[in-house]
Amino acid sequence: MRSRVVRFHHTGAPEVLQIETLDTPAPGPGEVRIRVQAIGLNRAEAAFRAGQYFETPQLPARIGYEAAGVVDALGPDVNHLAIGSAVNTLPGFSMNRYGVYGEYAIVPASALMPRPTMSAVDSAALWMAYLTAYGALVDIAHLQAGDAVLITAASSSVGLAAIEIANAIGAVPIAVTRTPAKAAELRAAGATHVIVSDSEDIAADTMRATNNRGAALAFDPIAGPMVDRLAAALRPQGMLILYGNLSGLAMDMRFPFGIAALRGLSLRGYLVFEIINDAQRLQRARDFIIAGLANRSLKPRIAKVFDFDNIVAAHRYLESNAQLGKVVVKVAE
């Protein structure tokens, strides 16, 4: 059997992505083949494609962490899944070994999650965003009712998930956005306060919003110079969690020692893999997310759906910062 997959032969802009027809292998030990129905795009994949991720692509490289599909074939020692089961992939693997951008994909059986009762397209917008946000706000920071959390890149799928999770636990989500263009939509999405970072003082506005207490947590995928401004907005013993490097300046970032020492702040790096690779923590996260879907406190938001043939345009849109929510690529019914 042959099927279409996305690969790139050199790193760079979205245009390096190519759809190629290749032989579709059988799954090996511990692996499952899925027929892909929808793909959720993530900034990590854009960084991998551009050669700016923490692992260097082995060219020609496949790509993709997050997909919804149906089990098509089982490896010889996989007996806890059934052919025809609706599943989602979790990013519990290296993209140098596996990639889900394609009509079919081989993935580790351990990276599959039963799909909730929702469409393939909707579920492709689910796990990466909510697991990432839950891991930071609940699992690591232990936010409590009444605690304020600063959420930068708030219009991303992870940012919107963090707003919803904060509201679900009674915390106070403060969305940080670069320009006023998305402010009204972020309030409609549940942000208690919105700070426009290009024209407003993050620390002063946070103090006003919290009656001068400051935020318990800043949840940031940007890094770079904004870290100083976020640290100044935190309360004593507050925490700054960095989960990305959208600025490209994290390696040159200056730790704000003065204010961190005076207030006893902590700075923590975080990737969602630490939740996914810990069975107990993953189970707690899954239970929280499934309960939130059931009571409608968590509602994945899709910014735009692209057809598989338009994967390059989908990546351009992903990097445009125009979206509010998840970018999804539909592959099949």
pLDDT digits (tens, 9 = 90+) for 256-315: 888 899 999 999 999 999 999 999 999 999 999 999 999 999 999 999 999 999 999 999
Residues near 310 by Cβ (< 8 Å), separated by ≥ 6? 329
Backbone angles phi, psi at 188, to 5 degrees: -65, -30
d(CA 37, CA 307) in angstroms, rounded, equals 11
- Short-list 140, 128, 133, CA closest to 92: 128
SS3 56: coil
Token pair of 276 as six digits: 């996914």
Using the predicted structure, report yes or no on whether residue 114 has a pLDDT greater than 90.
Answer: yes
Confirm if 149 and 163 have CB atoms less than 8 A apart: no
Confirm if 247 and 224 have CB atoms less than 8 A apart: yes
Token pair of 248 as six digits: 């490209």
Confirm if 273 and 92 have CB atoms less than 8 A apart: yes
The average confidence (pLDDT) of the chain is 95
Backbone angles phi, psi at 45, to 5 degrees: -70, -40
Residues near 61 by Cβ (< 8 Å), separated by ≥ 6? 7, 8, 48, 95, 96, 99
What's this model's pTM, rounded to 2 decimal places? 0.94
pLDDT reported for residue 250:
64
* Proportion of the chain above pLDDT 90, given as a percent: 88
pLDDT reported for residue 2:
93
Q: For 118-172, what is each residue's pLDDT tens digit?
A: 999 999 999 999 999 999 999 999 999 999 999 999 999 999 999 999 999 999 9
How does DSSP classify residue 102?
A: B
Using the predicted structure, report yes or no on whether residue 245 has a pLDDT greater than 80.
Answer: no
List own/partner pairs for 255-261 with CB under 8 A and 24 or more apart: 255/227, 256/227, 256/228, 256/231, 256/232, 259/228, 259/231, 259/232, 260/231
d(CA 185, CA 201) in angstroms, rounded, equals 20
Q: For 33-54, what is each residue's pLDDT tens digit?
A: 999 999 999 999 999 999 999 8
Domains recognised in the chain with CATH numbers: 2-126+301-330 (3.90.180.10), 128-273 (3.40.50.720)
* Proportion of the chain above pLDDT 70, given as a percent: 99
Residue whose structure tokens are 């519990």: 92
